[in-house]
């Protein structure tokens, strides 16, 4: 009975079209017919990836004479793009991005895709986070003499790529040169990066870091005249747009697609393949299949395993549970508010979820959630259950305690904000006001994902165990990350940033000089305001 309830609860979020969280989504599209504009489809695809990042979004297309057309700014896909801006994005190939920053700031100028004119004209979209930015910046400055205009690690990564391409010294580039350049770049950078790039008048390119931490895959669609190609963070985009043969980009692999050819090559030395397990716990859409693993099925398995653990712990403590939620009713029409202030988040939980007195009153309640990060949500729902008369409140978490920061592209609070940081499980229960908290074990979590594709030997579980698969993450880096995060939170709150930014939309006319409407951000950088 308990077992069934748990499974029902954990899957109750599965029909949701996406989850508010903090990451990035990337997309590339090449239509066989260059006379058909790809922007409407990229826009559709980005809206399917919106759950991966809600801070900024953008599309760059490549039209006749290899000319780029750009529209990007802070805001959600529905805010930035409308019929008029989409119509002006000309060309049959393009790149799209949805962003939540993990490096740099919330500045409009850091919205992606990024562009550099030399060599050849490159457009670039990145999901992930680099951990050796300090030395790379030094190299850019002292050796490569390339200017980086923002604090975004993605702009830096693009320039490292561009510098490697430059070194091939060719008048006209070919696939061999591109593979060589990406291989060179992979030797220089450390961290997580799933990327989609576009070379003016040439084609689109996808590559993934040697550990394959963040996802990206490819799919094909046959048309009457030839084949269209798609790159996307998640397979859900392919399925929704009639693409088939989804194929994950391999760790350390690069794929180049032109109108006439598809070339793929392992460009990095072999390394441990370790996709981020948090994609399965929380981030990815349940209807996606990442690295051969159905997110939906992995979540079902997590529910099964957690149910067993809960039964074991409750029996051990001789506690019985009368009701397992769903007993909270969710308001589906409340979006993210982009406010990180504790009090505001608390209020948001109450706007989103409401406890039903009938289910809770006088009973021992088991509340189940996918994860406990800062403890804001669980603390509030425990209090809500108690307010309507629950006797004992036990919280079960589908993820193990999160005790370490994420350095690979997920915006996680700094260590001191993590409720499980430096706390034993009993202390976490006390901090969130629960009578007991039961976490999924890491072994069970790994098993519930891994059994769906046993060929994956390891997952990045660093937020749970502090083991960073790339190595090279030192104390200085954590401190810098925490300072940056605190600055970003301060500047966002300082701007009174609640509610999705209201942005009017942007477009460039000719060339790639961006123009954009602002959401009150006072730093313009290379991003200009465009009024419709």
Ligand X SMILES: O=P(O)(O)OC[C@H]1O[C@H](OP(=O)(O)OP(=O)(O)O)[C@H](O)[C@@H]1O
Ligand Y SMILES: NC(=O)CC[C@H](N)C(=O)O
353-355 and 191-199 beta bridge pairing: unpaired
Max CA-CA distance within the chain?
Answer: 77
Closest to 34 measured CA to CA, from 61, 63, 59, 60: 63
Q: Fill in the DSSP letter of residue 52.
A: G
Q: Of the listed pieces 182-190, 246-254, 309-317, 368-376, which binds ligand X according to CB under 6 A?
A: 368-376
Q: Stretches 17-25, 151-159, 452-460, 519-527: which one binds ligand X (CB under 6 A)?
A: 17-25
Question: Is residue 104 a contact residue for ligand Y (CB under 6 A)?
Answer: yes
Residue from the set 43, 267, 306, 372 that interacts with ligand X by CB under 6 A: 372
DSSP-derived pairing of the beta strands 365-369 and 393-397: parallel
Residue of 24, 43, 57, 71 with catalytic role: 24
- Which H or E run contains 97? strand 93-99
Residue 48 or 372: which CB sits closer to ligand X? Answer: 372
Q: Pairing between strand 217-222 and 262-266?
A: unpaired
Question: Would you call 21 a catalytic residue per the annotation?
Answer: no
Token pair of 413, please? 């609070």
Distance CA(439)–CA(426), nearest Å, equals 11
Given 97, 374, 485, 492, the residue binding ligand X (CB under 6 A): 374
What string of H, E and C letters represents the secondary structure of 278-330?
Answer: HHHHHHCCCCCEECCEEHHHHHHHHHHHHHHHHHHHHHHCCCCCCEECCCEEE
Judged by beta carbon distances under 5 to 8 A according to partner kind, the member of ligand X, ligand Y, none in contact with residue 127 is: ligand Y
Window of 60-68, 125-133, 312-320, 364-372 that interacts with ligand X by CB under 6 A: 364-372
Each residue 406-445 as x (binds ligand Y by CB under 6 A) or -, in order, gives ---x------------------------------------
What ranges in 189-285 are assigned the alpha helix state H? Answer: 235-240, 278
Q: Which of residues 208 and 265 has its CB atom nearest to ligand Y in the complex?
A: 208
DSSP, res 515: B
User: Which residue(s) pair with 253 in the sheet?
Assistant: 266
102 binds ligand Y (CB under 6 A): yes
- Per the DSSP assignment, residues forming a β-bridge with 126 are 195
For residue 283, the partner it binds in ligand X, ligand Y, none, with Cβ less than 5 to 8 A by kind, is: none
Q: How many residues bind ligand X (CB under 6 A)?
A: 14
**Site for ligand X contains 19 (CB under 6 A):** yes
Is 276 in contact with 410 (CB distance < 8 Å)?
A: yes
Task: Figure out which of the listed residues 129, 164, 241, 377 binds ligand X, where binding follows CB under 6 A.
Answer: 377
Among 85, 152, 233, 508, indicate the residue that binds ligand Y (CB under 6 A): 152
Which part of the chain contacts ligand Y (CB under 6 A), choosing from 4-12, 147-155, 198-206, 314-322? 147-155
* x-or-dash string of contact with ligand X, 270-299, rule CB under 6 A: ------------x-----------------
Sole binder of ligand Y in the list 7, 24, 295, 323 (CB under 6 A): 24
Q: b/e string for 327-352 if b means 16 or more Cβ within 10 A?
A: bbeeeeeeebbbbbeeeebeebbeeb
Q: Residue 101: name its binding partner from ligand X, ligand Y, none (Cβ under 5 to 8 Å by kind).
A: ligand Y
Q: Which is nearer to ligand Y, 397 or 406 (CB)?
A: 406
Task: State which of residues 69, 100, 120, 530 lies at the interface with ligand Y (CB under 6 A).
Answer: 100
Rounded to 5 degrees, what angle do the CA atoms 337, 343, 344 make? 15
Beta strands per DSSP E along 320-445: 323-324, 328-330, 353-355, 365-369, 393-397, 436-439
Count residues contacting ligand Y (CB under 6 A)? 17
383 lines the binding site for ligand X (CB under 6 A): no
Q: Looking at 63, 210, 251, 375, which residue binds ligand X (CB under 6 A)?
A: 375
Return the active site residues.
Answer: 24
Binding site for ligand X (CB under 6 A): 19-21, 282, 369-378
Q: Which residues contact ligand Y (rule: CB under 6 A)?
A: 23-24, 99-104, 110, 126-129, 152-154, 409
């Amino acid at each position: 009975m308990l077992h069934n309830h748990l499974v029902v609860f954990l899957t109750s979020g599965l029909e949701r079209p996406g989850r508010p969280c903090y990451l990035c989504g990337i997309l590339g599209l090449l239509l066989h017919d260059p006379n058909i504009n790809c922007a409407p489809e990229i826009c559709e695809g980005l809206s399917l990836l919106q759950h991966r990042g809600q801070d900024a979004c953008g599309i760059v297309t490549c039209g006749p004479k290899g000319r780029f057309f750009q529209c990007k700014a802070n805001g959600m896909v529905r805010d930035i793009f409308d019929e008029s801006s989409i119509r002006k994005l000309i060309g049959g190939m393009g790149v799209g991005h949805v962003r939540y920053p993990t490096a740099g700031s919330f500045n409009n100028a850091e919205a992606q895709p990024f562009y550099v004119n030399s060599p050849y004209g490159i457009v670039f979209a990145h999901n992930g986070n680099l951990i050796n930015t300090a030395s790379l910046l030094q190299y850019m400055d002292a050796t490569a003499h390339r200017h980086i205009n923002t604090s975004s690690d993605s702009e830096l990564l693009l320039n490292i790529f561009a510098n490697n391409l430059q070194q091939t010294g060719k008048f006209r580039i070919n696939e061999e040169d591109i593979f060589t350049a990406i291989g060179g770049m992979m030797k220089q950078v450390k961290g997580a990066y799933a990327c989609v790039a576009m070379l003016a008048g040439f084609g689109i390119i996808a590559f993934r870091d040697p550990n394959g931490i963040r996802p990206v895959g490819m799919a094909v669609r046959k048309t009457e005249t030839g084949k269209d190609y798609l790159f996307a963070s998640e397979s859900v985009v392919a399925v929704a747009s009639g693409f088939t043969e989804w194929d994950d980009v391999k760790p350390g692999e690069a794929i180049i697609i032109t109108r006439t050819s598809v070339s793929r090559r392992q460009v990095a030395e072999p390394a441990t393949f370790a996709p981020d397990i948090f994609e399965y716990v929380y981030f990815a859409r349940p209807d996606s299949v990442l690295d051969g693993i159905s997110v939906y099925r992995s979540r079902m398995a997590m529910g099964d395993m957690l149910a067993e653990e809960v039964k074991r712990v409750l029996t051990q403590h001789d506690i019985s549970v009368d009701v397992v939620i769903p007993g909270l009713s969710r308001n589906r029409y409340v979006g993210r508010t982009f406010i990180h202030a504790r009090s505001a988040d608390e209020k948001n939980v109450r706007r989103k979820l409401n406890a039903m007195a009938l289910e809770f009153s006088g009973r021992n309640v088991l509340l189940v959630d996918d994860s406990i990060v800062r403890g804001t949500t669980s603390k509030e729902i425990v209090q809500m259950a108690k307010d309507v008369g629950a006797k004992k409140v036990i919280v079960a978490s589908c993820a193990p305690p999160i005790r370490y920061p994420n350095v690979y592209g997920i915006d996680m609070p700094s260590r001191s904000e993590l409720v499980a940081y430096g706390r034993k499980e009993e202390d976490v229960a006390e901090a969130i006001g629960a009578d007991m908290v039961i976490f999924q074990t890491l072994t069970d979590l790994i098993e519930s994902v891994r059994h769906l594709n046993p060929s994956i030997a390891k997952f990045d579980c660093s937020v749970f165990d502090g083991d960073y698969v790339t190595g090279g993450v030192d104390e200085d880096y954590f401190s810098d990350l925490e300072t940056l995060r605190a600055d970003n939170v301060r500047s966002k709150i300082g701007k009174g940033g609640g509610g999705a930014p209201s942005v009017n939309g942007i477009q460039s006319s000719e060339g790639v000089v961006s123009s954009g409407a602002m959401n009150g951000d006072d730093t313009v950088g290379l991003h200009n305001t465009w009024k419709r």
